[in-house]
Structure 1
Amino acid sequence: MELKKKINNGVYLVVSPSMDLNVMLTKLESIRIENLAALQIWDCFNPNDDAVTIVNAIADLFAGSTTPVLINNRWDLLAQCNLDGIHLDEIPKNYKQLKTAIGKDIIVGITCNNDLETAKWADENLLDYISFCSMFPSSTATSCELVNPETVIKAQNMFKMPLFLAGGIKPENLESLNNLNYDGIAVVSGIMEAKHPNQALKNYQNKLNIYENENNHL
């Protein structure tokens, strides 16, 4: 039996499947061996795309790595493809039935905002992580409201599951989040739209390492 991959700390990469597949795979190949918290395939496929083919191509690329590959919202693709789990944008009405129907142990995370009810639901249903969006204005997080840092602090005190921050996070504004105790950050365009994704990833990782070292000395 194949062991379930785990969510790691650090950079949680979100990729848009609307990008040209060959271009996307080339970019992902350059960072495949790096330490990623997870890789999420965003639910924004082009209308005529073969979603199963795209998802399987990405999943196959990371099959031998420690990086779990998740799909955003699409339980149908989770059932059809070799994925490690799912990231939810909102609480599904029939969550337990959907999860049971998958028939294997999966990673599940969910987006939270200023309303902690979603985080409470995640805790009660033993989800693997929560992600607060959006910490900053972002072109890729247009459906998220800006999160009050106090909400994140409350969640830290209430819940023990891994906590990620998302939305508009760049190496140059990461320092402003240093007062928050988080496990990692979700990044979309900051890496995948960079000319050299591996170097962009390292820039984020270097900033996170500084943050971790500072916290370890507190």
Structure 2
Amino acid sequence: MEKTHGITGGVYLVLDPAQPIDLLLQKLEAALTGGVNAVQIWNNWDKETDKLTLIEAIGTLCRNYHVPLFINEEWQLLKQSLFLDGVHFDAIPNDYELIKKAVTRPFMAGITCSGDLNTVAWASKHQLNYVSFCAMFPSPSAGSCSIVMPEVVKEAHKTTSLPLFVSGGITPQNIIALKEKTPFDGVAVISGIMSANDPQKQVKIYKDALGIAQSV
């Protein structure tokens, strides 16, 4: 398989696997062409979905662009599919060391922080690959995430060298305002890209707002 890049920031795309598969893959490829830096499959499966088949289809596209693919919560799937590069935890797992032993291969990991800096400290201690703060703004896809104040992200930036992502209601417009209040390395987005008519163009708009230089 093609080697994927690590994760340092940029645009982190979260996919809803309940979306019609053909449309999902079409929009994903457009977003990858636009320069997405990481992809996650959200834990929102239809009962009829063949998870491993969809993971392979998504993973094949991601590999073509050297973009890492994460699975939300279901770390066991790392043992079943080499198309997955890592797992995203919604909260601190009780048995992370056992999980690492069970997977039996290197993998990346990230975690959601809903404002508790103890989560950031745990992520740093266990050498995770990134932390994502949810939610910065109200958003239907952010679920039950509480609103995180920019000051919390700013404090986290002082305590860890891990890449910090912000998520929940993120738009190109509020990225610019948020950057004035706190530093961060990237944004995690679902509908802001996947609901766009032109995901490729939309990714570039997000990257412009982040101040990421793009090749012509």
- Per the shorter chain, which TM-score range? over 0.9
Tell me, in whole angstroms, the C-alpha distance in 1 between the residues paired with 2:86 and 2:52.
15
Structure 2 residue 99 is the aligned partner of structure 1 residue 98 = yes
Shift of residue 65 of structure 1?
2.0
**C-alpha offsets along residues 72-118 of structure 1, whole Å, 9 cap, x if unaligned?**
00112221112110110011111111122112111100000221111
Q: Could you say what secondary structure the match of 1:63 adopts?
A: helix
TM-score by length of 2: 0.92
Q: Is the contact between residue 136 and residue 169 of structure 2 (CA under 8 Å) also seen in structure 1?
A: yes
Compared CA separation, residues 31 and 2, structure 1 to 2 (3 A):
closer
Q: Is the contact between residue 9 and residue 164 of structure 2 (CA under 8 Å) also seen in structure 1?
A: no
**C-alpha offsets along residues 32-74 of structure 1, whole Å, 9 cap, x if unaligned?**
2332221001010012211111111100111132210110001
Tell me, in whole angstroms, the C-alpha distance in 2 between the residues paired with 1:14 and 1:46.
16
Matched with 1:84 is: 85
Tell me, in whole angstroms, the C-alpha distance in 2 between the residues paired with 1:203 and 1:149.
22
Compared CA separation, residues 103 and 10, structure 1 to 2 (3 A):
same
Shift of residue 207 of structure 1?
1.1
Tell me, in whole angstroms, the C-alpha distance in 2 between the residues paired with 1:208 and 1:32.
17
Q: Could you say what secondary structure the match of 1:190 adopts?
A: helix
Matched with 1:117 is: 118
Instruction: Give structure 2 stretches of 5+ with no counterpart.
Output: none
TM-score by length of 1: 0.91
Tell me, in whole angstroms, the C-alpha distance in 2 between the residues paired with 1:197 and 1:102.
33
Instruction: Report the count of equivalent residues.
Output: 211
Q: Could you say what secondary structure the match of 2:141 adopts?
A: coil
Q: Is the contact between residue 35 and residue 67 of structure 1 (CA under 8 Å) also seen in structure 2?
A: no
- Aligned residues with identical type, % of pairs: 41
Tell me, in whole angstroms, the C-alpha distance in 2 between the residues paired with 1:149 and 1:30.
31
Matched with 2:38 is: 38
Shift of residue 188 of structure 1?
0.4
Q: 2:208 is aligned with what amino acid? A: N
Compared CA separation, residues 191 and 122, structure 1 to 2 (3 A):
same
Tell me, in whole angstroms, the C-alpha distance in 2 between the residues paired with 1:162 and 1:187.
16
Tell me, in whole angstroms, the C-alpha distance in 2 between the residues paired with 1:124 and 1:14.
25
Matched with 2:154 is: 153
Shift of residue 162 of structure 1?
0.7
**C-alpha offsets along residues 139-159 of structure 1, whole Å, 9 cap, x if unaligned?**
100221000111111101111
Q: Is the contact between residue 15 and residue 39 of structure 1 (CA under 8 Å) also seen in structure 2?
A: yes
Q: Could you say what secondary structure the match of 1:71 adopts?
A: strand
Instruction: Give structure 1 stretches of 5+ with no counterpart.
Output: 214-218
Q: Which has the higher contact order (CA 8 A, sep 6+)?
A: 2
Matched with 1:164 is: 165
2:210 to 203, 208, 216: 208
Q: Is the contact between residue 153 and residue 180 of structure 1 (CA under 8 Å) also seen in structure 2?
A: yes
Q: 1:184 is aligned with what amino acid? A: G
Q: Is the contact between residue 116 and residue 155 of structure 1 (CA under 8 Å) also seen in structure 2?
A: yes
* Matches for 1:37-56 after TM superposition, within 5 Å: 37-56=37-56
1:189 to 184, 188, 191: 191
Shift of residue 4 of structure 1?
6.1
